Structure 1
């Protein structure tokens, strides 16, 4: 019979207690617990909340704190990026990075940085706009296709747009560029573009769009005839994906996948289940992590755990409503969650299937331990670096790579 250490037994007991407290049930999966050896502590957030709103269930916010043990190392391998925004891995282990001003670059794990890659359409880089998230085609090794999101100037303002193109063999330019999707209507503002893009397990693109921040456009997050404040699901040519939900209304845009989002800057596919997870910026309080279901309404601006920046309540100041989904987790005060990824490598087994989220105003990387689609532990990585973390991706070598607004690329291993 295999002997289990006293520490491992204690960890299993503590996680079992956390699951019972956090999930309100009497059982919890303990897969890979020995590898995780999770020890629970007080919540990592110690500042007072901006609101006095009550969570819908225990564990929806301020989950128990956890600590990576054994630890990890983190090194800033590049410090000369210009406002990097998105990062994704290439099949050979290098990293493809967007810079907000409109530049695409390739970085190596040794800290080498390519010259600017040309050929991309111009971007509207005012405010929160620019060259945003990106991903590569599942068949990139054969077709060299990349996809990216950017803010595009239009008559009447700007839109969140999606383009694709072929990375040239010499990696100096992107060729055969085509804009395949535009989130309409256009708006004369420079905030809340959303901007993440990932492939789902069916080979369709999931794209996040913001509601553009204005009180005028905010209600469009609930309007199925608008692309604003949504997750959209499209084919590689930009057409609506097969199997999208109908939303029960004849005027609903066929590309819509979920609605009721504010400024979603995080998207990730769970490596085991294939489920879509999303993070979005709340107002003053109420940053959210959502487990996405096709056709679901995530509530903004009707329900929220935040308030206006002025301190005023939003709408009817309600947090729950029939027909609207609750966030799996929320932060109050805000941490400004941006790009995110699940960890799936064997290098750090304790991190397998954990979710890592780049935090802007929080100036750290969030590690979330998730069991049965509930957050049971939270850790803050690199909190002493004083960096606004914009995106994080897993490399082929099992390291996490994170970019910051200040121009750094970190290797976390």
Structure 2
């Protein structure tokens, strides 16, 4: 049986080999507390959406068209993983998040989210799990299918807590706000538009979910009133669940998720209608609706979210790393008492940041989704000592 310590040592060694690259690929940048180098990990990817690290040193990357790719010993393998379900690849749809089970070294379970094709050219957010063995995904089970209809905003981020639960984000599916804003499906508990879902690892509903006993409410809903949550991370040290979500034109949000909480979309918010700049919301505040911990105006088009708890960048410990697509950046957020007290911009202009993860080596890995410049790449940030720069 592979112990966690042995698995971690093997992974660290493999990542060191996997991602050792030529100096010509380096790009040194500067920040307040750490200088860092941008190093290319893998090229030749088509619309990478998410990354995951495995105990044997492999790195998995989802490609939105529907492929799960493997980086092994520094090479992007030509053949994708077999057994991935058919995806609805159109617009924002496709193969999206990939997250190993916390006990992956023992059970080999991978969780994948994707836009699932339905009848009549419709689609919805779904999550499956399966055993990953020898380049194949086997014994696949669907643990969640969202009750939604729409064009985009699938959400699709997956995160585990430390108590056997899995959280899944679902967007509002781009249902336009109109008329009475409280009639928008993101304000309803009868469907999955604009929600965070909490399930057991096998897809069953925990008995202590906030809406289990409420009539006409879906019992798996953990929070609602979200627009397009595309970043999520669970903080094991505090039990906090953080998400980032797209506002419309302006008004991206960082939210601390409370069970049963209503986050207000589209009744309250800080953005405006695309193009026209006309107001969408009734106000920015309302009693009973939860305020974001941070907003971005103008929007950075938030994407992946990670919590830095490693040692390679020791002055960034306990900081959040929020990716930005339109902003082409990572927002480094310093936290104090569940509030953001400082923000610094990293890797400005590097490309559309689709995902950000912290590797077992403590380096920061970034998936770049440059749709107009495919193929895209995975890069990583490595610390650079200031005397090395001189």
Which TM bucket (shorter chain)? Answer: 0.7 to 0.9
- 1:96–1:68: structure 2 CA closer, same or farther, 3 Å change rule? farther
Aligned to 1:195: 156
Aligned to 1:40: none
Shift of 1:77: 2.0
After TM superposition, list the pairs within 5 Å mapping 1:136-215 onto structure 2: 136-156=100-120, 157-168=122-133, 170=134, 172-185=135-148, 187=149, 189-215=150-176
RMSD: 1.7
* Aligned residue pairs, count: 341
Shift of 1:296: 0.5
| Preserved contact between residue 93 and residue 395 of structure 1 (Cα < 8 Å) | no
- 1:321–1:117: structure 2 CA closer, same or farther, 3 Å change rule? same
SS at match of 1:80: strand
Alpha-carbon distance between aligned partners in 1 of 2:207 and 2:100, rounded to the nearest angstrom: 21
| Preserved contact between residue 119 and residue 174 of structure 1 (Cα < 8 Å) | yes
Alpha-carbon distance between aligned partners in 2 of 1:239 and 1:247, rounded to the nearest angstrom: 12
SS at match of 2:327: coil
Aligned to 1:313: 279
TM-score (norm 2): 0.84
Q: Deviations over 1:281-336 (max 9, x none)?
A: 000110000011111111001101001113221142x0000000000000001000
Greater strand percent: which structure? Answer: 2
Alpha-carbon distance between aligned partners in 1 of 2:256 and 2:56, rounded to the nearest angstrom: 31
| Preserved contact between residue 271 and residue 353 of structure 1 (Cα < 8 Å) | no
Alpha-carbon distance between aligned partners in 1 of 2:239 and 2:195, rounded to the nearest angstrom: 20
SS at match of 1:69: coil
- Unpaired runs of at least 5, structure 2: 1-29, 371-375, 383-390
1:220 aligns to 2:189 (yes or no): no
SS at match of 1:121: coil
The counterpart of 2:196, out of the listed 222, 231, 242, is 231
1:119 aligns to 2:69 (yes or no): no
| Preserved contact between residue 213 and residue 219 of structure 2 (Cα < 8 Å) | no
Alpha-carbon distance between aligned partners in 1 of 2:347 and 2:236, rounded to the nearest angstrom: 24
Shift of 1:378: 0.9
Aligned to 1:91: 55
Q: Deviations over 1:170-189 (max 9, x none)?
A: 2x21111122211103x2x4
Aligned to 1:408: 377
The counterpart of 1:367, out of the listed 332, 352, 355, is 332
Aligned to 1:283: 248
| Preserved contact between residue 89 and residue 393 of structure 1 (Cα < 8 Å) | no
- 1:111–1:359: structure 2 CA closer, same or farther, 3 Å change rule? farther
| Preserved contact between residue 270 and residue 353 of structure 1 (Cα < 8 Å) | no
Alpha-carbon distance between aligned partners in 1 of 2:74 and 2:277, rounded to the nearest angstrom: 44
After TM superposition, list the pairs within 5 Å mapping 1:9-408 onto structure 2: 67-108=31-72, 111-114=74-77, 115-156=79-120, 157-168=122-133, 170=134, 172-185=135-148, 187=149, 189-215=150-176, 219-246=184-211, 249-309=214-274, 310-316=276-282, 318-385=283-350, 387-406=351-370, 407-408=376-377
SS at match of 2:295: strand
SS at match of 1:73: strand
